[in-house]
Amino acid sequence: MVTAIVLVKAERMRVNDVAAELAEIEGISEVYSVGGRYDLVVMIRVRSNEAMADVVTNHMLKVDGIIETETMPAFRTQSRHDLETMFSIGMDE
């Protein structure tokens, strides 16, 4: 599994819509509405680098109302949970 965390600043009036639209994109597993300097934190969990590139450089760029994103690729993951199995449910089709 290839994972990336994306910090998102969105236009105030469109924050909730942006969150909803992002959550619809295949490969985006979670969208968190947060306080602090960013508005949303997005988790991308996909099967390949190609799928990651597709989410980041195609699908996310088309969501209207995003002002700025900062994408952080996860090089290693440590967890007490078997994330690979947990998040692959429904990834197959």
Question: Rule CB under 8 A: which residues touch a second copy?
Answer: 2-6, 12-13, 15-16, 19-20, 22-23, 29-38, 41, 49, 52-53, 56-57, 61, 66, 69-81, 83, 86-87, 89-90
CA–CA separation, 19 and 85 (whole Å) = 25
CA–CA separation, 68 and 1 (whole Å) = 25
Contact 56, 27 (CB under 8 A): no
Quote the least distance from Cβ 92 to a second copy, whole Å: 13
Q: Which is nearer to a second copy, 90 or 92 (CB)?
A: 90
Quote the least distance from Cβ 34 to a second copy, whole Å: 4
- Calculate Rg over the CA atoms of the chain: 13
CA–CA separation, 7 and 36 (whole Å) = 11
Quote the least distance from Cβ 32 to a second copy, whole Å: 4
